[in-house]
Structure 1
Amino acid sequence: MATRRIIDDDRLTAVGLLVEVHRGLTNKFATGLSKHGLSENELEILLRLGRTPNCQLRMSDLAAQTSLTTSGVTRVVDRLERAGLVERRSCESDRRGTWAVLTESGLARVSAAVADHIEDVERWYTGLLTEKQLAGLMEALRIVRDTVRPEAVAGVAEAAVAKTVRTVG
Protein backbone atom coordinates (compact mmCIF):
# COMPACT_ATOMS: atom_id res chain seq x y z
CA MET A 1 0.00 0.00 0.00
CA ALA A 2 1.33 3.42 -1.00
CA THR A 3 1.96 5.96 1.70
CA ARG A 4 0.09 9.18 1.20
CA ARG A 5 2.50 12.07 0.73
CA ILE A 6 2.04 15.20 2.81
CA ILE A 7 2.02 17.33 -0.34
CA ASP A 8 -1.14 15.50 -1.47
CA ASP A 9 -3.10 16.60 1.62
CA ASP A 10 -6.66 17.62 0.74
CA ARG A 11 -6.36 20.68 2.98
CA LEU A 12 -3.75 22.03 0.57
CA THR A 13 -6.14 21.31 -2.29
CA ALA A 14 -8.92 23.25 -0.52
CA VAL A 15 -6.70 26.32 -0.12
CA GLY A 16 -5.39 26.00 -3.67
CA LEU A 17 -8.90 25.82 -5.10
CA LEU A 18 -9.95 28.91 -3.16
CA VAL A 19 -6.95 30.86 -4.48
CA GLU A 20 -7.54 29.66 -8.04
CA VAL A 21 -11.24 30.60 -7.89
CA HIS A 22 -10.42 34.07 -6.53
CA ARG A 23 -7.86 34.71 -9.29
CA GLY A 24 -10.19 33.40 -11.97
CA LEU A 25 -13.15 35.47 -10.79
CA THR A 26 -11.00 38.58 -10.50
CA ASN A 27 -9.94 38.16 -14.13
CA LYS A 28 -13.49 37.50 -15.32
CA PHE A 29 -14.89 40.51 -13.44
CA ALA A 30 -12.20 43.00 -14.50
CA THR A 31 -13.53 43.47 -18.04
CA GLY A 32 -17.06 44.31 -16.93
CA LEU A 33 -15.85 46.69 -14.23
CA SER A 34 -13.58 48.54 -16.65
CA LYS A 35 -16.65 49.39 -18.76
CA HIS A 36 -17.80 51.46 -15.77
CA GLY A 37 -14.36 52.95 -15.16
CA LEU A 38 -13.89 51.04 -11.92
CA SER A 39 -11.20 48.75 -10.62
CA GLU A 40 -11.88 45.81 -8.31
CA ASN A 41 -10.57 47.84 -5.36
CA GLU A 42 -12.76 50.84 -6.21
CA LEU A 43 -15.83 48.60 -6.50
CA GLU A 44 -15.02 46.97 -3.16
CA ILE A 45 -14.84 50.34 -1.41
CA LEU A 46 -17.96 51.72 -3.08
CA LEU A 47 -19.90 48.54 -2.24
CA ARG A 48 -18.75 48.50 1.38
CA LEU A 49 -19.78 52.12 1.79
CA GLY A 50 -23.07 51.62 -0.04
CA ARG A 51 -24.00 48.57 2.02
CA THR A 52 -23.17 50.20 5.36
CA PRO A 53 -25.65 52.24 7.41
CA ASN A 54 -25.64 55.86 6.24
CA CYS A 55 -23.23 54.86 3.42
CA GLN A 56 -20.21 55.72 5.52
CA LEU A 57 -17.32 54.14 7.38
CA ARG A 58 -14.31 55.46 9.20
CA MET A 59 -11.26 55.29 6.99
CA SER A 60 -9.58 52.94 9.49
CA ASP A 61 -12.60 50.59 9.46
CA LEU A 62 -12.70 50.69 5.67
CA ALA A 63 -9.06 49.62 5.61
CA ALA A 64 -9.78 46.82 8.10
CA GLN A 65 -12.68 45.54 5.98
CA THR A 66 -10.88 45.48 2.64
CA SER A 67 -7.93 43.61 1.25
CA LEU A 68 -6.00 46.90 1.07
CA THR A 69 -3.49 48.49 3.40
CA THR A 70 -4.38 51.75 5.13
CA SER A 71 -2.32 53.68 2.59
CA GLY A 72 -3.92 51.68 -0.23
CA VAL A 73 -7.40 52.65 0.98
CA THR A 74 -6.28 56.28 1.22
CA ARG A 75 -5.08 56.22 -2.40
CA VAL A 76 -8.31 54.61 -3.66
CA VAL A 77 -10.50 57.01 -1.64
CA ASP A 78 -8.41 59.92 -3.00
CA ARG A 79 -9.24 58.79 -6.57
CA LEU A 80 -12.90 58.25 -5.74
CA GLU A 81 -13.06 61.65 -4.03
CA ARG A 82 -11.54 63.39 -7.07
CA ALA A 83 -14.20 61.67 -9.20
CA GLY A 84 -16.94 62.95 -6.86
CA LEU A 85 -17.97 59.44 -5.81
CA VAL A 86 -16.84 59.65 -2.17
CA GLU A 87 -16.26 62.50 0.24
CA ARG A 88 -14.45 62.69 3.53
CA ARG A 89 -16.09 64.08 6.66
CA SER A 90 -14.66 64.69 10.11
CA CYS A 91 -15.73 62.29 12.80
CA GLU A 92 -17.58 64.24 15.48
CA SER A 93 -16.85 61.72 18.25
CA ASP A 94 -13.10 61.47 17.47
CA ARG A 95 -11.32 64.44 15.92
CA ARG A 96 -8.56 62.14 14.68
CA GLY A 97 -11.06 60.03 12.75
CA THR A 98 -12.37 60.65 9.25
CA TRP A 99 -15.46 59.17 7.63
CA ALA A 100 -15.46 58.08 4.00
CA VAL A 101 -18.99 58.80 2.76
CA LEU A 102 -20.54 57.62 -0.48
CA THR A 103 -22.01 60.53 -2.47
CA GLU A 104 -25.24 60.37 -4.47
CA SER A 105 -23.09 60.27 -7.60
CA GLY A 106 -21.08 57.41 -6.09
CA LEU A 107 -24.23 55.48 -5.28
CA ALA A 108 -25.51 55.97 -8.84
CA ARG A 109 -22.15 54.85 -10.31
CA VAL A 110 -21.81 51.74 -8.14
CA SER A 111 -25.47 50.84 -8.75
CA ALA A 112 -24.97 51.01 -12.53
CA ALA A 113 -21.77 48.96 -12.30
CA VAL A 114 -23.39 46.38 -10.03
CA ALA A 115 -26.28 45.87 -12.44
CA ASP A 116 -23.77 44.52 -14.99
CA HIS A 117 -21.49 42.96 -12.37
CA ILE A 118 -24.36 40.82 -11.02
CA GLU A 119 -24.67 39.24 -14.47
CA ASP A 120 -20.98 38.29 -14.38
CA VAL A 121 -21.31 37.02 -10.81
CA GLU A 122 -24.26 34.86 -11.88
CA ARG A 123 -22.48 33.62 -15.03
CA TRP A 124 -19.14 32.78 -13.44
CA TYR A 125 -20.00 32.00 -9.80
CA THR A 126 -23.43 31.80 -8.18
CA GLY A 127 -25.24 30.49 -11.25
CA LEU A 128 -22.96 27.45 -11.30
CA LEU A 129 -24.26 26.32 -7.90
CA THR A 130 -27.60 25.11 -6.61
CA GLU A 131 -29.30 27.21 -3.90
CA LYS A 132 -28.25 24.64 -1.32
CA GLN A 133 -24.63 24.64 -2.52
CA LEU A 134 -24.49 28.43 -2.49
CA ALA A 135 -25.98 28.66 1.01
CA GLY A 136 -23.49 26.07 2.28
CA LEU A 137 -20.58 27.85 0.61
CA MET A 138 -21.59 31.21 2.07
CA GLU A 139 -21.98 29.70 5.53
CA ALA A 140 -18.56 28.04 5.31
CA LEU A 141 -16.87 31.18 3.99
CA ARG A 142 -18.36 33.28 6.82
CA ILE A 143 -17.02 30.83 9.42
CA VAL A 144 -13.53 31.06 7.96
CA ARG A 145 -13.74 34.84 7.38
CA ASP A 146 -14.94 35.51 10.92
CA THR A 147 -11.98 33.54 12.26
CA VAL A 148 -9.21 34.89 10.04
CA ARG A 149 -10.57 38.42 9.50
CA PRO A 150 -12.98 39.33 12.32
CA GLU A 151 -12.27 42.99 11.55
CA ALA A 152 -14.05 42.56 8.21
CA VAL A 153 -17.21 44.01 9.74
CA ALA A 154 -15.43 46.76 11.70
CA GLY A 155 -17.32 50.02 12.09
CA VAL A 156 -20.70 48.85 10.85
CA ALA A 157 -22.37 49.21 14.25
CA GLU A 158 -20.73 52.61 14.81
CA ALA A 159 -21.92 53.85 11.41
CA ALA A 160 -25.47 52.82 12.34
CA VAL A 161 -25.20 54.73 15.64
CA ALA A 162 -23.77 57.79 13.84
CA LYS A 163 -26.74 57.72 11.48
CA THR A 164 -29.18 57.55 14.38
CA VAL A 165 -27.45 60.42 16.18
CA ARG A 166 -27.59 62.62 13.06
CA THR A 167 -31.24 61.83 12.32
CA VAL A 168 -32.37 62.36 15.90
CA GLY A 169 -30.14 65.36 16.70
Structure 2
Amino acid sequence: METETATRWLDDAEQCAWRTYLDVNRLLTYQMEKDLQPFGLTNNDYEILVNLSESEDHRMRMSDLATATLQSKSRLSHQITRMESAGLVVRVNCESDRRGLYAVLTEQGMETMRKVAPHHVASVRRHFIDMLTPEALAGLASSLKPVAEQLRDSRGKI
Protein backbone atom coordinates (compact mmCIF):
# COMPACT_ATOMS: atom_id res chain seq x y z
CA MET A 1 0.00 0.00 0.00
CA GLU A 2 1.36 3.45 -1.00
CA THR A 3 1.86 6.07 1.63
CA GLU A 4 0.56 9.46 0.58
CA THR A 5 2.39 12.54 1.70
CA ALA A 6 0.18 15.48 2.48
CA THR A 7 0.79 18.43 0.18
CA ARG A 8 2.14 21.41 2.06
CA TRP A 9 0.29 24.15 0.21
CA LEU A 10 1.79 27.61 0.22
CA ASP A 11 0.28 30.04 2.67
CA ASP A 12 -0.48 33.61 1.60
CA ALA A 13 2.96 34.98 2.53
CA GLU A 14 4.76 32.08 0.81
CA GLN A 15 2.55 32.41 -2.28
CA CYS A 16 3.26 36.16 -2.42
CA ALA A 17 7.03 35.64 -2.11
CA TRP A 18 7.06 32.90 -4.76
CA ARG A 19 4.93 34.81 -7.26
CA THR A 20 6.90 38.01 -6.70
CA TYR A 21 10.12 36.11 -7.33
CA LEU A 22 8.67 34.62 -10.56
CA ASP A 23 7.49 38.04 -11.72
CA VAL A 24 10.85 39.68 -11.03
CA ASN A 25 12.73 36.81 -12.69
CA ARG A 26 10.63 36.98 -15.87
CA LEU A 27 10.50 40.76 -16.06
CA LEU A 28 14.19 41.24 -15.33
CA THR A 29 15.20 38.56 -17.84
CA TYR A 30 12.97 40.22 -20.46
CA GLN A 31 14.43 43.67 -19.73
CA MET A 32 18.05 42.45 -19.82
CA GLU A 33 17.36 40.74 -23.16
CA LYS A 34 15.73 43.91 -24.50
CA ASP A 35 18.70 46.01 -23.41
CA LEU A 36 21.13 43.67 -25.23
CA GLN A 37 19.17 43.72 -28.51
CA PRO A 38 20.77 46.93 -29.86
CA PHE A 39 24.11 45.09 -29.72
CA GLY A 40 22.73 42.04 -31.55
CA LEU A 41 23.14 39.83 -28.48
CA THR A 42 20.85 37.62 -26.44
CA ASN A 43 21.19 36.88 -22.73
CA ASN A 44 22.69 33.50 -23.68
CA ASP A 45 25.23 35.16 -25.98
CA TYR A 46 26.24 37.57 -23.25
CA GLU A 47 26.54 34.83 -20.63
CA ILE A 48 28.82 32.84 -22.94
CA LEU A 49 30.95 35.93 -23.66
CA VAL A 50 31.25 36.64 -19.93
CA ASN A 51 32.28 33.06 -19.14
CA LEU A 52 34.89 33.05 -21.90
CA SER A 53 36.21 36.53 -21.09
CA GLU A 54 36.72 35.52 -17.45
CA SER A 55 38.34 32.14 -18.17
CA GLU A 56 42.04 31.41 -18.58
CA ASP A 57 43.21 32.17 -22.12
CA HIS A 58 39.60 33.19 -22.90
CA ARG A 59 38.72 29.57 -23.65
CA MET A 60 36.60 26.82 -22.14
CA ARG A 61 35.90 23.23 -23.04
CA MET A 62 32.50 23.05 -24.65
CA SER A 63 31.31 20.57 -22.01
CA ASP A 64 32.39 22.92 -19.19
CA LEU A 65 30.74 25.89 -20.91
CA ALA A 66 27.51 23.90 -21.26
CA THR A 67 27.61 23.15 -17.54
CA ALA A 68 28.42 26.76 -16.62
CA THR A 69 25.55 28.13 -18.74
CA LEU A 70 23.06 25.36 -17.89
CA GLN A 71 22.62 24.44 -21.55
CA SER A 72 22.57 21.04 -23.16
CA LYS A 73 25.62 20.26 -25.27
CA SER A 74 23.43 20.26 -28.36
CA ARG A 75 21.84 23.64 -27.60
CA LEU A 76 25.25 25.14 -26.79
CA SER A 77 26.67 23.79 -30.04
CA HIS A 78 23.92 25.60 -32.00
CA GLN A 79 24.51 28.75 -29.96
CA ILE A 80 28.26 28.64 -30.61
CA THR A 81 27.63 28.10 -34.33
CA ARG A 82 25.60 31.34 -34.42
CA MET A 83 28.26 33.16 -32.42
CA GLU A 84 31.00 31.84 -34.74
CA SER A 85 29.08 33.24 -37.70
CA ALA A 86 29.07 36.62 -35.94
CA GLY A 87 32.85 36.37 -35.39
CA LEU A 88 32.57 36.36 -31.60
CA VAL A 89 34.02 32.90 -30.89
CA VAL A 90 35.77 30.04 -32.63
CA ARG A 91 35.94 26.35 -31.89
CA VAL A 92 39.38 24.83 -31.44
CA ASN A 93 40.23 21.14 -31.13
CA CYS A 94 41.54 19.97 -27.79
CA GLU A 95 45.00 18.51 -28.33
CA SER A 96 44.81 16.24 -25.26
CA ASP A 97 41.40 14.80 -26.23
CA ARG A 98 40.60 14.36 -29.93
CA ARG A 99 36.87 14.42 -29.24
CA GLY A 100 37.06 17.56 -27.08
CA LEU A 101 36.52 21.08 -28.34
CA TYR A 102 37.19 24.48 -26.85
CA ALA A 103 35.11 27.59 -27.40
CA VAL A 104 37.56 30.48 -27.69
CA LEU A 105 36.74 34.16 -27.52
CA THR A 106 37.98 36.04 -30.59
CA GLU A 107 39.41 39.54 -30.52
CA GLN A 108 36.08 40.71 -31.97
CA GLY A 109 34.30 38.88 -29.16
CA MET A 110 36.50 40.58 -26.58
CA GLU A 111 35.93 43.96 -28.21
CA THR A 112 32.18 43.27 -28.11
CA MET A 113 32.47 42.55 -24.37
CA ARG A 114 34.37 45.80 -23.81
CA LYS A 115 31.67 47.71 -25.67
CA VAL A 116 28.60 45.98 -24.22
CA ALA A 117 29.65 45.40 -20.59
CA PRO A 118 29.27 49.05 -19.46
CA HIS A 119 25.76 49.17 -20.95
CA HIS A 120 24.85 45.84 -19.36
CA VAL A 121 26.09 46.95 -15.94
CA ALA A 122 24.13 50.21 -16.28
CA SER A 123 21.03 48.16 -17.10
CA VAL A 124 21.57 45.88 -14.10
CA ARG A 125 21.96 48.93 -11.89
CA ARG A 126 18.93 50.73 -13.31
CA HIS A 127 16.54 47.78 -13.20
CA PHE A 128 17.79 45.95 -10.10
CA ILE A 129 20.63 47.21 -7.91
CA ASP A 130 19.49 50.83 -7.60
CA MET A 131 15.93 49.74 -6.78
CA LEU A 132 17.08 48.23 -3.48
CA THR A 133 18.83 49.59 -0.42
CA PRO A 134 22.25 48.16 0.45
CA GLU A 135 20.59 46.37 3.40
CA ALA A 136 17.92 44.88 1.13
CA LEU A 137 20.59 43.71 -1.34
CA ALA A 138 22.57 42.07 1.45
CA GLY A 139 19.41 40.41 2.79
CA LEU A 140 18.41 39.22 -0.67
CA ALA A 141 21.84 37.73 -1.33
CA SER A 142 21.86 36.09 2.08
CA SER A 143 18.35 34.70 1.59
CA LEU A 144 18.94 33.32 -1.90
CA LYS A 145 22.41 31.88 -1.25
CA PRO A 146 21.19 28.61 0.36
CA VAL A 147 18.70 28.11 -2.47
CA ALA A 148 21.42 28.59 -5.09
CA GLU A 149 23.80 26.27 -3.22
CA GLN A 150 21.19 23.52 -2.88
CA LEU A 151 20.27 23.77 -6.56
CA ARG A 152 23.94 23.72 -7.61
CA ASP A 153 24.55 20.67 -5.42
CA SER A 154 21.55 18.81 -6.83
CA ARG A 155 22.36 19.65 -10.48
CA GLY A 156 24.37 16.50 -11.01
CA LYS A 157 21.64 14.37 -9.46
CA ILE A 158 18.91 15.37 -11.91
- In the superposition, the TM-score normalised over structure 2's length comes to 0.81
Structure 2 letter corresponding to 1:145: A
Query: Alignment length, in residue pairs?
Result: 148
| 8 Å Cα contact 1:65-1:151 kept in structure 2 | no
Residue among 2, 15, 19 paired with 2:18: 15
In structure 2, relative to structure 1, the CA distance for the partners of 1:94 and 1:41 (3 Å cut) is same
SS in 2 for 1:84: coil
Match of 2:94 among 87, 91, 95: 91
Q: Displacement of 1:8 after TM fit? A: 2.2
Whole-Å Cα distance in 2 between the matches of residues 32 and 108 of structure 1? 18
Distance of 2:65 and 2:125 partners within structure 1 = 26
Q: Is the 8 A contact 1:91 1:99 kept in 2?
A: yes
Q: What TM-score results when the alignment is normalised by the length of structure 1?
A: 0.76
Runs (5+) with no aligned partner, structure 2: 1-7
Residue 30 (structure 2) aligned to one of 4, 27, 34? 27
> Hey, what does 1:126 align to over in structure 2?
129
RMSD, aligned CA? 2.3
SS of equivalent to 2:102: strand
- Pairs within 5 Å for 1:74-89: 74-89=77-92
1:114 is aligned to 2:117: yes
Give the residue type in structure 2 aligned to 1:122. R
| Pairing 1:70–2:70 present | no
Q: Which has the higher contact order (CA 8 A, sep 6+)?
A: 1
Change over 3 Å in CA distance of 1:54–1:15 after alignment to 2: farther
Call closer, same or farther: CA 1:46–1:13 in 2, change over 3 Å: same
By how many angstroms is 1:9 displaced?
5.4
Could you say if the C-alpha distance between residues 138 and 95 of structure 1 is closer, same or farther in structure 2, counting changes exceeding 3 Å?
farther
Using the alignment, how far apart are the partners of 1:12 and 1:97 within structure 2?
45
